Amino acid sequence: MLDIEQKDNVFKIRMSATLENIDVVDDTLANYLSGWDLPVDIFAVRILLREALLNAVTHGSGMDSRKTVRLEIRMNTDGIDMEVCDSGSGFPWWNLKEYTFNLDEGGRGLALMKIYSDNMEFNETGNTIILRKRYKVDEPISR
């Protein structure tokens, strides 16, 4: 299952928790963002979406394709807000340690999201992540 609904500046996506759906969502949004000519780092947005969805599919849903992952993307006047929610029980995000860039260390996905976003937050239980990527300030917003 993969439902992509777009209305004005908001995308709402419901998808079965599969890796294949991550690729389809990423390809769809990358095409959309390229066409809309927003002053945003598209690569950064793709990394953020992919890593948030990957965590939701693998950790939040245990790779169970019967489970649903929800994604909402909002193109605001000053940046893009992304919210990814899974049906899992969350994780203790408040215990997250600083990533140390050790090659043996896990947590590379969370490190990427922290580096490439301007803001990263979780809901209380940790099954929803909210990411923000601001538009480049030196370029006018064309739309």
Partner 1 sequence: MINTDRENGKATVQPAGKITAGNADNLRRELLELVESGVHTLTIDLNNVDIIDSKGLSVFIVCHKTLSEKGGSLSVITENKDFQQLFHVMRLDEHFKVSSGE
In 3D, which of 67, 63, 95, 76 has the Cα closest to residue 11? 76
Tokens of 15: 């998808």
Q: Is 36 in the site for partner 1 (CB under 8 A)?
A: no
CA 98, CA 119: separation in Å to the nearest integer? Answer: 15
Residue whose tokens read 């990263």: 120
When binding is defined by CB under 8 A, the residue of 1, 2, 10, 115 that contacts partner 1 is 115
When binding is defined by CB under 8 A, the residue of 3, 5, 20, 37 that contacts partner 1 is 20
Q: Is 137 in the site for partner 1 (CB under 8 A)?
A: no
- Rounded to a whole number of angstroms, the minimum distance from the CB of residue 73 to partner 1 is 17
CA 18, CA 67: separation in Å to the nearest integer? Answer: 9
Q: Is 22 in the site for partner 1 (CB under 8 A)?
A: yes
Q: Is 47 in the site for partner 1 (CB under 8 A)?
A: yes
When binding is defined by CB under 8 A, the residue of 96, 111, 130, 141 that contacts partner 1 is 111
CA 82, CA 73: separation in Å to the nearest integer? Answer: 5
Expressed in angstroms, the distance from the first to the final Cα of the chain is 31
Q: Which residues bind partner 1 (CB under 8 A)?
A: 19-20, 22-23, 26, 43, 46-47, 50-51, 54, 58, 101, 103, 108-109, 111-112, 115
